[in-house]
Structures are given as C-alpha cells and as structure tokens.
Structure 1
C-alpha cells in the first residue's frame, strides 16, 4: 500500500510503498515529456531522486523514449540521441528492466496498414536491491482501454499457478442416499456394450457429479 508521497512534479510522482508492515521501498511513477527541450531536465531529476532514495527503487511509467530500433515498427527510425539518455541513465544509476509478459509494444498510433506505428514507450525499471527483494516479480501488459497506451501491472509474487484440485471421495457421502443416485446418473449417461471403452469417461462423470453435489 502507499505509505506516503515524497515528491511530485508534472512528470513524476515519487512515493514510498510498504506491504503488511514490511520495510518500505521507493516507487517513482513517471511520464516522460514528449518535448525534447524538457527531456534533459526530466532525466536530471531522476538522477537526483536516485541520490536521495533508498536502495530498493522501482520506476514505472511512460519513458517516452524508444531505446532500441527493435522496439519500434513503422514510422521513422528512432532518435539515437534520445535513446542514449535512457541507456546512460540505466547504466549510471544501475537500473535494469523488469521482464514484461503480454506483448512487445506498449503504444500504438491507433492506425492500420502502412500508417501503423507501434513502440515500446512504457517500462518498469528496478534496482538490483529491489530485484533481490522481489525475485519473482514480473510485469503484465494489459489491454489498452480508452488509451493509446497499454497499462503495465507489476506482480510482486509473479504469476500464481492455479493448483489443480484433487478429487477425494468422502466416506460420509455413503450415508446420503443422493450420493448413490448421482453415481447411477453418471454411469447411465455413457452406458454401452463395451464397458471398458466407457470406464474412464464414466469415472470422470462420477467425479464431476459428486463434486458439484458435495
């Protein structure tokens, strides 16, 4: 949960976040200025935040820079000078990109065919200390709704695998008359001359009917 806001400006909100009373960590939500003349000050401000921040730091948002040509399709080639600002920042400050699942590009000009342009403008940058604190963390790219950007959701514990529920027959069910009727219904649905052929299907139907009934 958000513990407190530290600093804010037109292009960033710097916050302190803590969950369940654990040691807080710093998270800066950003919107990189599209205007080239404002980009230099924007990156300078992030450098300044790093000097004042705790070791565990995460940056989330619209960088508004394409760092590599592979992260853009359509339109003009990327601006290498702007890309250098981003790469220099991550190198000097020691930030790495959090893996993001769900797609390669985060922005679209909402056009099609030869006029279509897609770019990766949004990112999640993390310090090595933050990475150690949340080793399972990943970013998930969600569908764009009422925006030309795809939102990114950060899952600190990674994707949780759904455990397959193991079927267990409860002996107390034998005390219920309805239990026997459910078993009879399951086997009657797939009756036939070849009992061996229908065995697996009948057992599966029995499990399903008893689970629903229970």
Structure 2
C-alpha cells in the first residue's frame, strides 16, 4: 500500500486542481486534454459517466504527451478493470465498497476512494489508505467541516470534489489536510462544445496558480 500511496500522492501533487471531465463526444477528448496539459493540469480525471469514457481515457493515454489520465466515478470491480486496461494511471470512486477495496488491493494502479464521514475515513485508514476523496465536498460540510477532521484524523489527506469553484478553491487548498481539489470549472461545457481550447488553457493556467 505504501508504494501505491506514494504513486497517488505524486500524481495529485502535480497541480492544485484535478480537472473532473464528463466527455460526451470522443472527438473532444484529445484536444481537451492537450489544452489542460498546456495550462499546467497534467493529471486528468475522466469520469465513467458516458458511453465514450473508456475510449476517451485510451485516446488521452495514447495521444496526449504529458497527460496522466485517471478514471472517475468508478463504482465496481468491472469498471476498475476496464479503466486500468484503457490506460488509467489512477482510479477515483465517489464512495467505497468492499468490492472496490478488494480489486484495488490486487491492482498496481492506486485508488482514490471517496469518504464523507469520520467513520468512513477511519475505516479506510484501517485499510491502509492515507489519501481520500472528500465527496461531495460542499454539500457534506465544506472547508470548515474538512478542517475539523484534521486534528482527530491527523495524517489523512484529502482531495475535495463536489461544488468546488474558483471562488472557494483556496479555502480548501489552504487546509493542512488537503493535497489538491477536483473541479469541473476548468472545462466548461460551452467552451468544450465550441472547441475553444485556448480558452480552456487559460482557465487551466489560472487553476494551476491557485496554490501560489
């Protein structure tokens, strides 16, 4: 678990914001990923919410230099295996199940499991996890809630996702137990559909500077 924790942490520390993408059109995957990498956001979470998600992960893994593709919204062992086969270098789940923990234990690809309560965090800590996804961040209590976990659950690190915007991202990034945040604002639907890759690179550049 130690090696996988280090691998996951090194990916999440590449940038303060991990883009969370819902790709509807496969043709958008490569230029979108290139635009994000150009703006300094190399680790990219492609959610398994669309029929083209696996193809999008594979395309980014094969064709976008510098990108570190991951799969998000992974709900079961089957999706975990499919995402790894497509080229995912990390796996993200909104919550945690025994099935996911079992498949993750056997894989060399690290899992960022979701947690939202102290009990969930404690259970994952017992499993050897040190880095978790805090989801849904804003709805579950926001930065103030996450800050309150830092003392009783010392040593646990989080990537908050859900309701994170440029306006509140720094509230999270300033916390001692936050390694990065996940956000969809760096790839807004309107810009993606318009093919405004320069606009997305500008948003990515701004996001990459949030921790400065």
Task: Give TM-score, length-normalised by structure 1.
Answer: 0.28
Higher strand share: 1
Structure possessing the higher relative contact order (Cα contacts under 8 Å, 6 or more residues apart) = 2
Q: Which has more radius of gyration?
A: 1
Higher helix share: 2
